[in-house]
Structure formats: C-alpha cells, structure tokens
Amino acid sequence: MQLASAEYVAPETINSRIWPRLTAIAERFWSPQETRDNKSMYRRLEEVSWRLGWFGLNEDSNYESNYALMLHRLAGSHDIAALRILADVVEPTKDYTRTEVFPQPPVKSTPLNRLADAARPESAVARQFAGMVESYLQSGYKDSAAEAQIRASLVKWRDNDANLQPVLDRSFILAEDKPLSGDLAALAAAGLQALDSIGKNQPLPDAWRTEQLAVVDRSMKPRANLLVMVAPPQFRS
C-alpha cells in the first residue's frame, strides 16, 4: 500500500512509521526551543514506547512480532538470525525518496515485501553503537568497556556476511541487498583494524585510510532503498 506519493506502508508496518515519529514531534513541541539533549530525549521516549506498548501501538509490541514475521518471509526456510543482524543496522532511504532511488511505474498498490519494507525507520542498534563510539573517543581511547562492546559488535558484523550469503543466494528479492551485507562486513573489518592500531599505537598507512573512507562513502549511498547506518557522516573523519 502506498499513501499518495509519500510513505509506503502496510498493516504490518504502519504503527512503526506513525507512533515513534509522533512521540518525537510531541517531544519537540513540549520542550523549550533551546533544549537539544537527544540522549535525554531517547531515554524518555523509551518510557513512552513502553506506554504505547500497553495499547499495542509501538514497535516493541505488535511491530516486533511483525518485524520477525517479515524477515521470516524473506528468509524462507532459513533461520533469520543473520538477516536480522543486517536488518537491525540499516534504515530505509529518507525524505520519501523511494521512487527516486528505485523508480517504478505508477501503480495503485506495490508489494511491500523487500528488506527496505521490513527495516525500521530508525536503527536503534546503529544509534547505540554511535553512542559507544562517542564514549570511546571522548575517553581518549581509555574506556575499556566501550571498546569491548564496540569490538563485539564489529566482530559480529564482520562475520555475518558469510553467514548471510546462503540466505541471499536463495532469494531473488534479497539479492539486491548483497552489496549492503558486504559493505557492513568491510566496515566492521576496518573498524577492528583501527582498534588494533590504536591498541598497539601503530598508525595505519594513508592508503589504508583512503580505501576505508571510500567504503564509508559507498555505505552512505542508498542501495535497494536502504542505508547502512553504522558509519554515519559524523564519524567519517
């Protein structure tokens, strides 16, 4: 189902598109204009999310089950664990650009059966990872707890591409997502190399940095109507 030329939604996804955004809009209207504490906002929105869950309106209730069901349909007979690792760190393209990124003839209805349809509007996993990276950087690379969490995430993403390939190879719908999975693995591998370099106090060569920044730039360009969100622009430098 498509609403005019704006959002692509289905009964499985409409709550996830409406309610998190409405709570964020309400937060903006209720807050003083000078308030810009995003961390505080997300902490309070988690409480609101649970309250919405009591009414069956948030992604932690019915959408969570719908999310898993949509991934199961995409994975077929395969376990969804590897597909979910990828789905958890991507977001659909922004500003209602789906028809620009993935042009299609005008129709009254469109099958919403791609990974871009299952993916959440905002990746909580990517946001939490960004927070860990920020803590690690602000500590002057001394926050060992943050480093351990970052490393664990990077290892999981690096190894996931190989685990996901059998699923991608058996689905013509998921074939378009192969580059995203490959770039996630490449970004994770580069992150692990960077952590090792910091730990050994051995700077990596400029050629390596140039090569990895190219992967970062590529990952931030929409493909299959999705963006890999674990390499946001603020971490490119």
* pLDDT score recorded for residue 125: 93
Does some domain include residue 5? no
* Residue 95: band (very low, low, confident or very high) from pLDDT cuts 50, 70, 90: low
Does some domain include residue 3? no
Q: Which pTM value belongs to this model?
A: 0.80
> Which H or E run includes 90?
strand 90-92
| Distance from C-alpha of 98 to C-alpha of 138, rounded to nearest angstrom | 36
> Which H or E run includes 227?
strand 226-228
* pLDDT score recorded for residue 153: 97
Does some domain include residue 195? yes
The structural domain count of the chain equals 1
Token pair belonging to 111 = 């099958």
- Mean pLDDT over 74-95 rounds to 91
The more confidently predicted of residues 124 and 150 is 150
Does some domain include residue 157? yes
Secondary structure (3-state) at 115: helix
Residue 26: what are its φ and ψ, rounded to 5°? -60, -40
The more confidently predicted of residues 206 and 41 is 206
Least confident of 1-10, 122-131, 201-210: 1-10
Contact in structure between 109 and 4 (CB atoms under 8 Å):
no
DSSP state of 223: B
Residue 173: what are its φ and ψ, rounded to 5°? -70, -40
Does some domain include residue 1? no
Measuring CA to CA, how many Å separate 140 from each of 91, 133, 209? 30, 11, 20
Q: Is the pLDDT of residue 112 over 90?
A: no
Does some domain include residue 2? no
Does some domain include residue 142? yes
Does some domain include residue 206? yes
- Whole domain around residue 57: which residue ranges? 14-235
* pLDDT score recorded for residue 231: 75
